[in-house]
């Protein structure tokens, strides 16, 4: 049987994993943002585009993912405030 303490620890682990994911995503976002679009090219497989447009879209999407994870992080903080209070009845 899972105790409230065990479950709270699992919430903590999920939150820690989310924080690690956000750090990794931020590093990716910054690394892509640091690329020089003038030294890049794009393939011809999709709609016509340029390297600067594609790079900007990639960075924007990574930022949007970061924002989404920020919302999840805030929700986990709320959950943690509640899960940390639960305990077995004596």
Distance, CA of 15 to CA of 28 (rounded, Å): 20
What is the per-residue pLDDT for 87? 93
User: Which residues have a Cβ under 8 Å from the Cβ of 41 and sit 6 or more positions away?
Assistant: 51
Residues 6+ apart with CB under 8 A from 72: 18
* DSSP code string of 21-32: HHHHHHHHHHHH
Please state the separation of Cα 42 from the chain's center in Å. 26
HSE of 35, CA atoms in CB hemisphere, 13 A: 18
pTM over 0.75: yes
**So what's the pLDDT on residue 90?**
85
Mean per-residue pLDDT pooled into runs of 10, the chain (90 residues): 92 97 97 97 96 98 97 97 94
């Amino acid at each position: 049987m899972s105790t409230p303490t065990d479950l709270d620890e699992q919430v903590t682990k999920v939150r820690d994993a989310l924080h690690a994911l956000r750090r990794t995503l931020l590093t990716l976002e910054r690394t892509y943002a640091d690329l020089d679009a003038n030294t890049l090219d794009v393939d011809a497989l999709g709609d016509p585009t340029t390297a600067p447009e594609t790079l900007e879209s990639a960075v924007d999407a990574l930022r949007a993912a970061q924002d989404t994870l920020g919302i999840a992080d805030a929700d986990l903080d709320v959950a943690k405030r509640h899960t940390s209070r639960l305990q077995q009845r004596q």
